């Protein structure tokens, strides 16, 4: 509890908390790699639109990679949700993967009026998610379990 900038013994500033646990670190890594790969997709589409025929193959291979990374992120998000006892990593990852499924289908069908705006929304969602997992510390399950067992108040470190 903080009163006029005073911190009690039960709270620490969020800058002192570090992400712990394999699940939290794997989730951050999966989100980061997925975001980087997704940001390459508009570049590959732009290469194709400039007249380079091979750019379409790059875009197709990138789509396969991004789709696979989305599935991987959803799986890691499920593990992270279970370990951190928070639903948001799984929920956000599944929603992004569902959008990527629609994106992939629209691209194969040539529905550019769906493919392009959905791609922009996916890129924006991944950028926000990536910022969220790196700006806010991930909760330490062991610390929150000890606080619960000791009857101490708990802090929720994951307001995303």
Show the tokens assigned to 32: 């980061």
Q: What percent of the chain has pLDDT above 90?
A: 61
pLDDT(147) > 70: no
Q: How confident is the model at residue 41 (pLDDT cuts 50, 70, 90)?
A: very high
Higher pLDDT, 144 or 130: 130
pTM of the model: 0.74
- CA–CA dist 68, 82 (Å, integer): 22
CB 44 within 8 A of CB 100: no
User: What share of the chain has pLDDT > 70, as a percent?
Assistant: 72
Residues 6+ apart with CB under 8 A from 12: none
pLDDT grade, residue 55 (50/70/90)?
A: confident
Q: How far is 18 from 27, CA to CA, in rounded Å?
A: 14
pLDDT at 17: 38
């Amino acid at each position: 509890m903080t009163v006029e900038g005073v911190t009690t013994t039960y709270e620490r500033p969020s800058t002192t908390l570090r992400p712990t646990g394999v699940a939290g670190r794997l989730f951050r890594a999966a989100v980061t790699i997925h975001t980087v790969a997704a940001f390459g997709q508009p570049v590959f589409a732009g290469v194709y639109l400039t007249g380079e025929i091979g750019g379409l193959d790059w875009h197709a291979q990138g789509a396969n990679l991004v789709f696979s990374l989305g599935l991987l992120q959803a799986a890691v998000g499920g593990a992270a949700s279970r370990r951190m006892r928070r639903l948001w990593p799984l929920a956000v990852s599944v929603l992004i993967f569902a959008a990527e499924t629609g994106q992939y289908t629209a691209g194969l069908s040539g529905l550019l009026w769906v493919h392009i705006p959905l791609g922009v929304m996916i890129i924006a969602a991944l950028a926000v998610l990536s910022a969220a997992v790196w700006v806010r510390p991930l909760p330490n399950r062991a610390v929150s379990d000890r606080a619960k067992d000791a009857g101490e108040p708990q802090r929720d470190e994951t307001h995303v």
